[in-house]
Chain A
Amino acid sequence: MLIIILRRLGQSILVLFLVALISFLIFRFVGNPVDNLMGQEATLLQRAALEEALGLNDPLYKQYFNFVWRAIHFDFGNSYRGALPVAELIASRLPATLELALTSAIFALVFGVITGIYTAIKRGGFIANLILSTSLIGVSLPTFLIGVLLIWLFAVELRWLPSFGRGEVVTLGWWTTGFLTISGLKSLILPSITLGLYQLTLIMRLTRSEMLEVLRQDYVRFAKALGLSNKQVHFNHALPNTLVPVITIAGLQLGSIVAFAIITESVFQWPGVGLLFINAVYFVDIPVMSAYLLLVGVLFVFINLLVDLLYLAIDPRLRDSQLNGER
């Protein structure tokens, strides 16, 4: 088991180096950083000095390794605006995005799997069909429209929930959390639904079709023939077999939840890294953009690693074939 984890870890590190390369190239080639940093009044001498100081005259590979080396130490340079270190900027925004992404991922996964199982077991039933047709809304409406509609209904008309921001947050060390205050939790509801609705319908439809497939398998019929109750058959036998593909997709979706958060964060003025990124694009704040890219890359790779390991935990066949391949 340890060997498999180590090997997956090695692969992940390789991928991260590639992501870093792209992120580095953006920094290096999207406009000249010296122009951005010094403005128009700088003399040629000043420019040359800065180029030398930034290491821009070094060979490319050396610059790349410098970039990676500094990235490992969370040094992404300073933001062009406000001259704050990018790492600090992101660290202050990251908790907001991660809390939002986590909440909506859990929302999507829990409700997606539950409704997926329900619609598979009660196939053709009235409520199942109702859920299925309602879910089409989740697939077909764009995120920002769902967000605006939710704001209109719950914030403007009913005045139940706030329409923007994180509400009150509690600071725990360098982490700020909205989980511990009422207004923080209330503020989470609308953005999480907005962000998670598409994923929810996707997971639901996937769970349903996988479950229907699994219910046709002989081991399910055999379990029934052995007199196990419907509950045992559905949850002990069918569900675990359904979850393997669902976990893959859900895992990948968690990555895209963080990526899609940009739109939701804009709609709800959520103070996370997505909003930071949008503003960075607006002001061509290259260090922030490349650091954000690297961050998303790391998240994706990390989630994929987690999904792979979950696979191994669920499916014994995979575990054995991986170990045999190792010998």
Chain B
Amino acid sequence: MSENLLQIKNISVTFKTRHGVLKAIDDLSLNVKKGEILGLVGESGAGKSMTGAAVLGLIDPPGRLSSGQIWYKGQRIDQAPETIRGHEISMIFQDPLVSLNPLRRIGDQLVETILTHMPITKAEAVDRARKGLEEVGIDPERINAYPHTFSGGMRQRVVIALALAPEPALIIADEPTTALDVSVQAQILDLLKQLCRERGTSIILVTHDMGVIAETTDRVGVLYAGRLAEIGETRDVLTNPKHPYTKGLVASTPRIDASSFDKTLYQISGSMPKLDAMPNGCAFHPRCEFALDKCRIDRPSIIADRAACWLLDGEETLL
């Protein structure tokens, strides 16, 4: 369980624009262990999806991985990411309505993917495709149907079947349930979780939904303005957040219980800084009620393996 499957070491993703070079991800490091589900949470534009895209080398120009290294199973992959796509690391996108090719039968897409990665015959691939559909709860008889004949939730099941077909060791799920009805979200997450647990497949689950993080993940990384703010066991992070931003996130998550009806929800004042107006020091300090003088000048790195916050400095023993 403790073996590192994926190591992201100090990566930065930059975009060249007319306003200069913008850093969408700034010196980010994290590890994914074998078999674990790691959540990445943060606001829109915090760099969650970009981190996933960076691992697979799918950052669209003009963006690019400008520094840092990505290691997978002891091999450096950031220079030739296409060699691990599919059979080692695969990805699930946010909107199932647009992630399947509308002109091709789902069976053809499955068989194509399987044949690309496995030295088997077409008939065997069709067999596998049918089995794959069955596992995600789709009638294998529909193997020749086109994507538009499925509902959103069903299409995401097909997408999961496709992502699992080449038997990857890691799946990056980029907000896989955001575009779906609430009632379907839980089903899809359970399905994904169950299938990956059976296979020992790790997941990086990108989401902005703290509820999803709480229910699904083993560990969670909190991203803010392209930087890692906090990382740790999900239970610890959610019940005892160390970074003021995480505290704010947890406090502003809606709860449905009797006591919450007449309370207003906590809000973090202000908004995340734009990439071209990043403050000095800690990116969060303009919104932080505990900010010290040091926070305005020096950027904190992750302290005590937990949070990038100067408040933890010297408190290692307390953790």
Contacts and interface: CB of A to CB of B under 8 A. Distances in A.
Interface of A: 216-219, 221-229, 232, 236-237, 240-241, 314-317, 320
B98 A219 contact: yes
Contacts of B90: 225-227
Interface stretch (B81-89, B199-207, B221-229): B81-89
Q: Which 5 A-B pairs have the closest CB atoms?
A: A227-B86, A225-B91, A227-B85, A316-B146, A218-B98
B99 A218 contact: yes
B187 interface: no
B294 interface: no
B280 interface: no
A223 B86 CA distance: 9
A219 B102 contact: yes
5 contacts: A218-B93, A219-B102, A221-B93, A226-B163, A315-B102
Nearest to B89: A225
Given A218-B93, A221-B58, A316-B103, A226 B113 contact: yes
Nearest to B60: A216
Contacts of A216: 60
Contacts of A225: 56, 58, 85-86, 90-91, 93, 163, 172
Contacts, number: 85
Given A221-B93, A241-B103, A316-B103, 9 more contacts: A224-B58, A225-B58, A227-B82, A227-B85, A229-B116, A232-B116, A240-B101, A241-B101, A316-B102
Contacts of B103: 240-241, 314-316
Nearest to A238: B101
B149 interface: yes
Contacts of B104: 236-237, 240
Contact of B148 (A222, A236, A240, A317): A317
Nearest to B145: A316
Contacts of B162: 222, 226
A218 B97 CA distance: 9
Contacts of A236: 104, 112
B279 to A, nearest CB: 33
A225 B55 CA distance: 10
A304 B84 CA distance: 46
A318 B60 CA distance: 31
